[in-house]
Amino acid sequence: MTAQPVPAESAPRDVADESVHARLERVWANKPGLWGWITSVNHKSIALRSIITAFAFFALAGVEAALIRVQLARPENSLIGPDRYNQLFTVHGSTMMFLFAVPVVQSVALYLVPMMIGTRNVAFPRLNAFGYWTYLIGGVLLYVGLFTNTGPDQGWFSYPPLAGPEFSPGKRVDIWAQMITFTEIAAIVAAIEIIATVFKQRAPGMSLNRVPLFVWAMVIMSFMVLVAMPFVATASMMLAMDRLIATQFFNPAEGGDALLWQHLFWFFAHPEVYIIFIPALGMVSSIVATFSRRPVFGYTAMVLSMVSVAFLSFGLWVHHMFATPLPQTGQSFFTAASAMIAIPTGVQIFCWIATIWAGRPRFTTPMLFVVGFIALFTIGGLSGLMIAAVPVDLQLTDTFFLPGHIHYVLLGGMVFPLLGGVFYWFPKVTGRMLSESLGKLSFWLLFIGVNVTFFPQLLLGVAGMPRRIYTYTADTGWGLLNLTSSVGAALLALGIIVLVVNIARALASEPNAGADPWGGETLEWAMSSPAPDYNFAYIPIVHGRSALWADTGPLEAVSGLREDRREVLQTTMLDAEPDARHEHPDPTITPLLAAIAVGITLIWGIFDPIAFAVGGGLSFFALVAWGWPRREKPNTREIVETPQ
């Protein structure tokens, strides 16, 4: 069954008359022109540009992957030399992990969460803008490096001693390390944004046990970011200092330890997989509910499963280090912990299957991507169970099995749900439907492409082909499987091209989606598409888990928020009872200035430690400008409630 756009006459009607909308529009709109673009503090404007930026990096990393696959398509290929090849796979991995996967899921959250929980903006609008600019500067830095032949070449996990000053002279590793710092700052502020917004700005009635599963997923991911990201930021700073001012953190000759890096890095990077994966689960839950025409089965079990996955993921990092000298008890513990994560993951898969089973499923494109996700993630998960066993891991570590496994997990577990989400929420963001037939074509190209690309890589790993080699001889017998993998990569590229064509066609057409083309469950479908700058003229009141399916009468709402300044409603943390009003800042340039100051600090800091003093001072002045009191607006009448 294909999706039918809802006719235009069923666009939202509410009691707010036109003048209310006009007044709110005047107060909440971005300023016009370029100045408006760089001063915006609107969550949708910033999240959308962040999503587009992330997909641009995805495309760049895709081109790198294509070059890698062309190089490996036949034995003794001389298209790309070893040095360029090292830069390509390092920048490919670093881009996908740090500039695409985490930013894109956080940006989707920053776009949708305020709409789903019934508020007008994220909790800290300026911090949100600052996070985007910081991310952008970090990403551009990495690509300036690559295009000037200074791209990192030590692999995306940057192990010393290879990444240390002795074996990687020059500035390549430093660019990588500072790119990490930029993106971690951005990820941490986005996480704080999401948590504060969800805890304090939910619509009245949306108590914690009624929060949509998508929003739960984003909150859980955010807490993981807060704990995990500082570890890699600290580690990358230590690496940069080893290289810049001769600290000895990772230098064994002076008592430092290369394995210290691996512990700090993987304590971040294993949870990182789940930081990417859990938001995808949230997207899957939204899609499954809407297209099965019923709420997801086992709400409490779903939430608790995501929480347990989050906790367990911090106890698994050592399974990336089975090839290092570890105590045997440690190996057994981490093998068991790795296997244990299959339990909460299994609970979720069964809950979705139960939902689809008991519902009236419609296999639209978003739903196809969900089914594809379940299939691919199962293969990814099974290949993961294999390398969770120490003896198998010792055989397969540093072979092509690993890239095969991680791509099944990340493409299946994250990219497929994300693309499902693109098809599902595209009408909300743009007011236009994507073509179902092109969508299904994309799906099949990508689904077949993933298997044709990455299954041969699992086999190549078992056959003993090491990862990260720029070529191989014909007598290894690896040629056919590599060629197959490269053909698969071409299918993947084609699938993405079809998606781009689909999006371009939709954008060139007239808006046809209406407010709620799918009959959605959550509040974002209660507003027009695209949503106005203030999201809701009146904040809705929620009576059940399925905010829009609970009853069929008029939607109850809150009035009384001011229309002459940016005001949001705050509610209590557990029960979401109306508690306070909160004034939000107007558009401002200060977040961009602060990000530039941080940018100067970190980029100059690649070359000279004095940058941290000078840049710290610049950042201080930018932050003072940010926080300095503005002239009060006329008619400011504050109602102050002091603690009892």
Partner 1 sequence: MTVVGQILADTTSAAARPLRPVFDASELPSVAFGSRTVTWWGTVGFMVAETATLAACVAAYYYVRRNFNAWPPLHTPLPDLLIPTISLVVLILSVIPCYLFAKASERLDEAATKRWMWIAVVVMMAATALRFLEFGALNVRWDANAYASVAWAIVFAHFTLLLADTLETLVFAVILTRGDAPPRFFPGFAEDAFYTYFMVLAWIPCYVTVYLVPHWV
> Looking only at residues 171 through 190 of this chain, which bind partner 1 when binding is defined by CB under 8 A?
188
- Which residue, 148 or 636, is less far from partner 1 as judged by CB? 636
Q: How far is the CB of 635 from partner 1 (least distance, A)?
A: 12
Q: Does 554 bind partner 1 (CB under 8 A)?
A: yes
- Residues 596-635 touching partner 1, rule: CB under 8 A, are 620, 624, 627-629, 632
Q: How far is the CB of 102 from partner 1 (least distance, A)?
A: 15
Other Cβ atoms less than 10 A from the Cβ of 617: the count is 12
- Which residue, 445 or 515, is less far from partner 1 as judged by CB? 515
- Which residue, 156 or 626, is less far from partner 1 as judged by CB? 626
Among 477, 504, 560, 613, binds partner 1 (CB under 8 A): 560
- Which residue, 324 or 473, is less far from partner 1 as judged by CB? 324
- Residues 563-592 touching partner 1, rule: CB under 8 A, are 567, 569-570, 572-573, 578-583
What six digits make up the tokens of 642? 């002091």
Nearest Cα to Cα of residue 364 among 259, 443, 282: 443
- Residues 93-152 touching partner 1, rule: CB under 8 A, are 123-124, 127
Q: What are phi and psi of 578, to 5 degrees?
A: -55, 130
Q: Does 521 bind partner 1 (CB under 8 A)?
A: yes
- Residues 265-284 touching partner 1, rule: CB under 8 A, are 267
Whose structure tokens read 């201080």?
Answer: 620
Among 1, 34, 508, 640, binds partner 1 (CB under 8 A): 640
What is residue 584's three-state secondary structure? coil
Angstrom distance (rounded) from CA 437 to CA 426: 15
Size of the site for partner 1 (CB under 8 A): 110
- Which residue, 246 or 497, is less far from partner 1 as judged by CB? 246
Q: Does 553 bind partner 1 (CB under 8 A)?
A: yes
Among 70, 79, 196, 258, binds partner 1 (CB under 8 A): 196
- Which residue, 153 or 521, is less far from partner 1 as judged by CB? 521
Per-residue three-class SS string for 128-166: HHHHHHHHHHHHHHHHHHHHCCCCCCCCCCCCCCCCCCC
Residue 276 CB partners (closer than 8 Å, separation 6+): 101, 102, 105, 410, 413, 414
Q: How far is the CB of 341 from partner 1 (least distance, A)?
A: 21
Burial 440-464 (b: 16+ CB within 10 A, else e): bbbbebbbebbbbbbbbbbbbbbee
Is the peptide bond prior to 75 cis by the omega test (within 30 degrees of 0)? Answer: no
- Which residue, 436 or 579, is less far from partner 1 as judged by CB? 579
- Residues 6-45 touching partner 1, rule: CB under 8 A, are 6, 10-16
Angle at 64 between CA 62 and CA 66, to 5 degrees: 70
Angstrom distance (rounded) from CA 533 to CA 634: 23
Per-residue three-class SS string for 475-532: HHCCHHHHHHHHHHHHHHHHHHHHHHHHHHHHHHCCCCCCCCCCCCCCHHHHCCCCCC
- Residues 322-361 touching partner 1, rule: CB under 8 A, are 358-360
Q: What x-and-dash track marks residues 478-517 binding partner 1 by CB under 8 A?
A: ------------------------------------xxx-
Whose structure tokens read 């909308």?
Answer: 21
- Residues 202-231 touching partner 1, rule: CB under 8 A, are 204, 223, 226-231
Residue 503 CB partners (closer than 8 Å, separation 6+): 426, 434
Q: Does 62 bind partner 1 (CB under 8 A)?
A: no
